[in-house]
Amino acid sequence: MRYFDHDYVEDVIKRLARIPPDAKPRWGKMTPRAMVQHLADTVRFSMGKAGDVPDRSNAFSRRIVAPLILNGIVPIPKNLKAPPYPKGSSQDDIETLHAILDEYLGLVQAGELTPKRHPVLGDLGIDGWAKMHYRHFEHHLKQFGV
C-alpha cells in the first residue's frame, strides 16, 4: 500500500484531471464532479472541519470490518451507502480538493491534527484515517477507471 502523503496526493490530482467531466462510472450513479465533492467532504470531516455525524459504529464494525478494509483484505464494497457526511460546497473542484488535501497533510506533519471518529469504523486515529483515505480514494478512482 502506498502512503497517503504528498506524492500520493499529486498522483491523485493527475489521475482526477484525466477523467472527462461527462465520464460514466463503472458502477453507481456518481458523476466525476460529485465524486470530487464527496472526497473533499470526507477529508474535511476527518479533519473536524465539518459538522457531526451520528456514531453508527459497533463492536463488529470497529474490530472486524475496520481492520479488513483498512489493511486492504476486503475492498470497500461497490454501491455502499456512504455515511451522511455534512456536505461542503457544491463548487468543490479538483483544485479545492488539492488545497484540502495539502491542509490535511500539513496538519498531520505539524502534529496538529486531532481526527474525528469515523461514523462506522470508530476511532481510527491519524494512521487509520490515512489508510481509510487511501482506500476510499482508490475505490473512487477505480470507479472512473483511473
- Is 130 a member of any domain? yes
User: Which pLDDT tens digit goes with each residue over 91-114?
Assistant: 889 999 999 999 999 999 999 999
Q: Global pTM?
A: 0.94
Q: At what angle do helices 6-17 and 125-143 cross, to 10 degrees?
A: 20
Amino acid at 20: P
Q: Mean pLDDT throughout 59-77?
A: 97
What pLDDT sits at residue 66? 98
Could you give the C-alpha distances from 146 to 56, 59, 141, in angstroms and in order?
A: 31, 34, 5
- Is 1 a member of any domain? no
Distance CA(16)–CA(38), nearest Å, equals: 13
What pLDDT sits at residue 134? 98
How is residue 81 written as a grid cell?
A: 451507502
Q: Mean pLDDT throughout 60-85?
A: 93
More confident residue, 78 or 83: 78
Q: What is the pLDDT of the chain when averaged over all its residues?
A: 94
Q: Name residue 122's beta-bridge partners.
A: 118
What pLDDT sits at residue 82? 79
The fraction of the chain above a pLDDT of 90, given in percent, is: 87
- Is 88 a member of any domain? yes
Q: Domain residues for 11?
A: 6-143
- Is 47 a member of any domain? yes
Number of domains in the chain: 1
Q: Which of 7, 11, 39, 28 is nearest to 144 (CA)?
A: 28
